[in-house]
């Protein structure tokens, strides 16, 4: 078959998904496809192995929230799409048999336990890798399932593009020397793009884990408890360099911003004497004194000494 025929064949199959708008069943499968297309476009998915990752879920939620106000569920479309013949699953080792007899999966936790990744037919993935045919498929999906949300989706695609571009640029900034005195934003954009991009870059470095307590809590649907924190507050530094950022759980983000904890130049935690705390010993902030924080795999992405020094001097309650 020529490329064109293959594209037409898949457009036909992709615009024939089971969604029942009349009875109010939300269009999970097309939203999943739009989300995967988004990640391919951003270079986050370069192989035909699509993980049910937190990144995929966050993208899925962004599309979901402009299309419907129902409860989102990524597990169901990720699983049921296989009935369509162009989407397949690779089981995790030891789970091949379990996958064969499974008829439904309702949570991402279960999905990740059983399935290592989903993958498309190779010829479909090839089409999705090429910008022109990918766009053709994306527009066909939007036209078929979300004609009444075209404008919102178009805006989201532009915003996602800017977020991807911004987060890529702040990750690339580590090639240059870090400068605490110099403001660094790669380009002017609105606050929501900037914040989402900073979060995306920091989460890609720390894998949604709090660097202080190592908690990695995901809800059943993959929503993460971790936040991207600036070391020198953005309000002061205007600096989105990833070396001015760490990933923290809600509790440790709050205590870090309040100056109750800080970081030594050897990446260990220091805790303020100026706090009163009560509770079981292992949960006290004082129990963190001297513990090493989780560090990035790449040395050049380590939190900057100048940033940590600023935090110790100006934010920390000595």
DSSP conformational letter for 263: E
| By the rule CB under 5 A, 210 interacts with Zn ion | yes
Residue 66 contacts residue 153 (beta carbons within 8 Å): yes
Which of these ranges, 21-29, 67-75, 206-214, 286-294, lies near Zn ion under the rule CB under 5 A?
A: 206-214
Q: Provide the strand spans (E) within the chain.
A: 87-91, 115-120, 227-230, 245-248, 261-263, 269-271
CA separation (Å) from 218 to 31, 42, 55, 200, 263? 21, 24, 12, 16, 26
Buried b (16+ CB within 10 A) or exposed e, 151-187: eebeebbebbebbbebbbbbbebbeeebebeeebbbe
Q: Which is nearer to Zn ion, 185 or 295 (CB)?
A: 295
Nearer CB in complex with Zn ion: 222/224:
224
Residue 213 makes contact with Zn ion by CB under 5 A: yes
**Which one, 199 or 252, has the nearer CB to Zn ion?**
252
| Residue 260 interacting with Zn ion (CB under 5 A) | no
Q: Name which of 174 and 269 has its Cβ closer to Zn ion.
A: 269
User: Which region among 28-36, 97-105, 144-152, 202-210 touches Zn ion (by CB under 5 A)?
Assistant: 202-210
Estimate the crossing angle of helix 131-145 against helix 28-41, to 10 degrees. 160
Contact stretch for Zn ion (CB under 5 A) within 31-39, 186-194, 212-220, 304-312: 212-220
Closer residue to Zn ion, CB minimum distance, 116 or 218:
218
- Least CB distance to Zn ion at residue 311 (A): 16
Write down the least CB distance from residue 246 to Zn ion, Å. Answer: 10
Stretch that binds Zn ion, among 45-53, 113-121, 213-221, 270-278 (CB under 5 A): 213-221
∠ CA(194), CA(195), CA(196), 5° rounding? 95
Measured N-to-C along each axis, helices 122-129 and 3-14 cross at an angle, to the nearest 10 degrees, of 100
Residue 221 CB, nearest distance to Zn ion (Å)? 21
Residue with Cβ nearer Zn ion (146 or 256)? 256
Q: Which of 67, 249, 285, 308 binds Zn ion (CB under 5 A)?
A: 249
Q: Which stretch binds Zn ion (CB under 5 A): 38-46, 139-147, 246-254, 306-314?
A: 246-254
Task: Classify the C-alpha dihedral 65-66-70-75 as positive or negative.
Answer: negative
The answer to whether 317 and 259 have CB atoms below 8 angstroms apart is yes
Residue from 14, 127, 141, 212 binding Zn ion (CB under 5 A): 212
Q: Which is nearer to Zn ion, 174 or 249 (CB)?
A: 249
Residues contacting Zn ion: total by CB under 5 A: 6
CB 119 within 8 A of CB 49: yes
Q: How far is the CB of 226 from Zn ion (least distance, A)?
A: 8
Contact between 84 and 17 under an 8 Å Cβ cutoff? The reply is: yes
Q: Does 252 bind Zn ion (CB under 5 A)?
A: yes
Q: Which is nearer to Zn ion, 157 or 210 (CB)?
A: 210
User: Which segment (133-141, 165-173, 187-195, 241-249) binds Zn ion by CB under 5 A?
Assistant: 241-249
Rounded to whole angstroms, the Cα distance separating 245 from 29 reads 35
- Residues interacting with Zn ion, by CB under 5 A? 210, 212-213, 215, 249, 252
């Amino acid at each position: 078959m020529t490329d064109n025929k293959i594209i037409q064949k898949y457009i036909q199959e992709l615009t024939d998904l089971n969604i029942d708008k009349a009875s109010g069943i939300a269009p999970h499968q097309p939203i999943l496809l739009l989300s995967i297309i988004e990640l391919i476009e951003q270079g986050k998915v370069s192989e035909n192995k699509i993980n049910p990752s937190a990144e995929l879920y966050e993208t899925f939620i962004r599309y979901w929230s402009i299309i419907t106000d129902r409860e989102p569920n990524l597990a169901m479309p990720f699983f049921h799409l296989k009935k369509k013949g162009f989407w397949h699953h690779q089981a995790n080792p030891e789970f091949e048999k379990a996958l064969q007899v499974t008829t439904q999966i309702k949570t991402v936790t279960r999905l990740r336990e059983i399935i290592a990744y989903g993958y498309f037919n190779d010829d479909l993935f090839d089409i999705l890798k090429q910008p022109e045919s990918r766009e053709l498929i994306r527009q066909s999906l939007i036209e078929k399932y979300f004609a009444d949300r075209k404008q919102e989706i178009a805006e989201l695609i532009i915003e996602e593009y800017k977020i991807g571009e911004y987060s890529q640029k702040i990750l690339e900034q580590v090639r240059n020397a870090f400068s605490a005195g110099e403001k660094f934003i790669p380009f002017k954009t609105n606050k929501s793009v900037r914040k989402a991009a900073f979060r995306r870059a920091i989460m890609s470095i720390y894998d949604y884990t709090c660097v202080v307590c190592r908690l990695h809590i995901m809800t059943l649907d993959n929503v993460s408890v971790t936040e991207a924190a600036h070391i020198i507050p953005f309000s002061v530094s205007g600096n989105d360099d990833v070396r001015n950022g760490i990933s923290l759980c809600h509790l440790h983000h709050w205590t870090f911003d309040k100056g109750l904890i800080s970081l030594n130049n050897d990446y260990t935690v220091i805790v303020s004497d100026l706090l009163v705390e009560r509770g079981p010993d292992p949960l006290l902030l004082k129990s963190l004194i001297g513990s090493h924080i989780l560090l990035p795999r790449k040395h050049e992405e380590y939190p900057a000494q100048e940033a940590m020094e600023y935090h110790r001097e100006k934010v920390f309650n000595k």
